[in-house]
Amino acid sequence: MTKNNTSAPGSAPDSTAITVDEARTLGGLFRQRVKRTPENVAHHYYDRGSGEWRQVTWRKLAEYVARFQAAMEGEDLKPGDRVGIMLSSSPEWIAVDQAALGLGLVTVPLYLDDNAGNTAYMLDHSGTRLLFVRSGSDWTSLHDYADRLGEVQRVVCVDTAAGCEDARVVSLDRWLPPSATKLRALDKDPDALATIIYTSGTTGRPKGVMLTHHNLLWNARATWDAVPTYPDDIGLSFLPMAHSYERTSGYYHSLVSGLQVAFNRSIEQLMEDFAIIRPTTINSVPRIFERVYGVIQDGLARKSALARKLFELTVDVGWSRFERQQGRGSWHPSHLLWPLLDALVAKKIRALFGGRLRFASAGGAALSPDVSRMFIGFGIAVLQGYGLTEASPVVSTNRLDDNDPGSVGPRLGGVQVKMQQNGELLVNSPAVMKGYWRDPEATRKAIDETGWLHTGDKVARLEHNRIYLIGRFKEIVVMASGEKTSPVDMEQAIMIDPIFEQVMVIGEARPFMAALVVLSERGAQHVQSMGFDPASDEQLRDERLESALLERVAEQLKDFPHYTQVRRLAVLREIWTPQNGMLTPTMKLRRRRILDEHRDRIDYLYEGHARVAATAASRNIRVAG
């Protein structure tokens, strides 16, 4: 695909895109990028010391990486040794990764907000020898697990090492030499191990996914072939770099294309950063869109009937135009209204994301049809995709000119997919992992003798290479009646209502569906306005409050089958986090842990089914069983 060289974002020619053969390794990819566009801006980052946004070119970034390499060479490391990265997304994250990869070392990305036990396990299991952390306090938080950390020989604190007495700990400014001559390049083997990425571990201990240079390089280039970016594009990075999706589709993809990347200051400042950076592309997860959608819908409910009608008309006309552009619809006279509707409504919504967004790639979970329809209707190209860490990670994605929001897109070129008789999706490609670190048994279960990766995801259908998913096998709920449903879809629908921060739907082997919910800040205010104290467990158990919240849940689930309707719910005060063990670092529910933690509340919800049925009947709701 070749584009005209104009001043519009995303319009630069693609002659600077780097191929797999040219790069050979991830370190080679970086060196090729520096060689091709040395004075182009690589990254935008916020300097908290000066309170200003700053830029770094590819040439300056290469000089920074060379300094890290020089320091690493003084740490008695040999090719294949592991380097842990527990940092926020930043030029330092990139510098550590590239310095290590160029020296033939293996990086182990770690989440800043993971609980200490998980982090210690991964450091121990991987045999990490050199570790980069944000501050000395990040290291001291692991002291309860000191017996597992004996292989860590050096800890480098990027911000400050203050308050840490461990002799292994040093601050970055003391560890890093003031200059270095050139980049080292020991990474000659494309099939050498590049990284160990630990999976979220929703059940049991996380497993270390072994990915090679070729795995990741091939996948980054394949995603570029499907959805190209250009040197005059700018992406806003707000997912953790430890997340394989952001690492490949954001970071390594930017090396392929020359795309500029700006690092978000924090999720709390995300909307501000959209206005400042005005990105042309982002990688996101559904929750970001769902939150914005919920806020918009909440505000819309307080507007006049005319304003709501105008809003709905804009979405309808915008969606109709999108369907025509995709070759699935025809021209309609209402399309003549678009310039006016765009000026009055759609442009204001696009301005929330900076006003220049060419496309937003969405992965990690399915996006609600209502949510994707609204954003696409307003002219924001949302491209849903699918992947898993074991596939480096992208398997499929929608394209700008081939976008079916009901699917996770066609497979990438070079990826093979098939469906087993039980509906499980199998994947084969050059991006499939080498296996799980120090776990040959798990590797044999995941990759069969013919090289096919068993994803654990259930497929609705494969159609013209396009994938339509149902969900994870282990997350499918089978009710006592034998009916099956995906709780994830229900949870996403419920959380569109902005009063709910977190939701877990339950019903395995039960006569009806129930839910555990955590209120958002807005939800707490709503409950308080009803006369209930959101800080009181007793008042949160009040049946009148439960009934009122169930009505709101029912509204969100009105398009789901009757047997999936939630009949009871419990409001919990404590938010689920990775630190308290209820979420994975990628913010997925640890369902078994939550079930065990709240077993008494759940049993209470299902006690006295006859009483529940009577209550439901009074509200004209059918109860299964």
Taking only the tens place, the pLDDT of each residue in 174-192 is: 999 999 988 988 888 999 9
Q: What is residue 3's predicted lDDT score, i.e. its pLDDT?
A: 35
Confidence of residue 9 (pLDDT cuts 50, 70, 90): low
Taking domain 214-430+452-473, whether its CATH number is 3.40.50.12780 is answered by yes
Distances (CA, A) of 168 to 68, 129, 161, 210: 17, 11, 11, 27
Confidence of residue 294 (pLDDT cuts 50, 70, 90): confident
Q: What is residue 14's predicted lDDT score, i.e. its pLDDT?
A: 55
One fold for 24-188 and 214-430+452-473: yes
Q: Is the pLDDT of residue 162 over 90?
A: no
Q: What is residue 440's predicted lDDT score, i.e. its pLDDT?
A: 96
Distance CA 319, CA 369 (A): 12
Q: What is 476-618's CATH number?
A: 3.30.300.30
Whole-prediction pTM: 0.86
Q: What is residue 477's predicted lDDT score, i.e. its pLDDT?
A: 85
Which candidate, 251, 198, 242, places its Cα nearest to that of 223? Answer: 251
Q: What is residue 614's predicted lDDT score, i.e. its pLDDT?
A: 46
Mean pLDDT of the chain: 91
**Average confidence (pLDDT) over 349-367:** 92
Q: Is the pLDDT of residue 1 over 50?
A: no
Beta bridge partners of 86: 133
In this structure, which amino acid lies at residue 261? V
Which candidate, 530, 610, 591, 598, places its Cα nearest to that of 569? Answer: 598
Question: How many CB atoms sit inside 10 A of residue 461's CB?
Answer: 12
In the chain, what are the domain boundaries? 24-188, 214-430+452-473, 476-618
Looking at 17-31, 120-134, 342-356, 567-581, which range is the least confident one?
A: 567-581
Q: What is 24-188's CATH number?
A: 3.40.50.980
Beta-carbon contacts of residue 246 (< 8 Å; ≥ 6 apart): 89, 237, 239, 240, 283
Looking at 129-133, 201-205, 270-274, which range is the least confident one?
A: 201-205
Q: Identify whether the C-beta of residue 17 lies closer than 8 Å to the C-beta of residue 2.
A: no
pLDDT tens digit sequence for 521-565:
999 999 999 999 999 999 999 999 999 999 999 999 988 888 889
Distance CA 463, CA 472 (A): 20
Looking at 5-19, 310-324, 387-401, 496-510, which range is the least confident one?
A: 5-19
pLDDT tens digit sequence for 611-624:
544 444 444 433 33
The CA-based dihedral angle spanning residues 490, 492, 496, 499, taken in that order and rounded to the nearest 10 degrees: 80
Q: What is residue 288's predicted lDDT score, i.e. its pLDDT?
A: 86
**Average confidence (pLDDT) over 564-568:** 92
Q: What is residue 156's predicted lDDT score, i.e. its pLDDT?
A: 97
pLDDT tens digit sequence for 335-355:
999 999 999 999 999 999 999
Distance CA 108, CA 118 (A): 13
pLDDT tens digit sequence for 83-131:
999 999 999 999 999 999 999 999 999 999 888 988 999 999 999 999 9
Distances (CA, A) of 613 to 38, 475, 620: 69, 26, 10
pLDDT tens digit sequence for 399-418:
999 999 999 999 999 999 99
**Average confidence (pLDDT) over 373-387:** 96
The residue that leads in pLDDT, 2 or 579, is 579
**Average confidence (pLDDT) over 352-371:** 90
**Average confidence (pLDDT) over 224-249:** 96
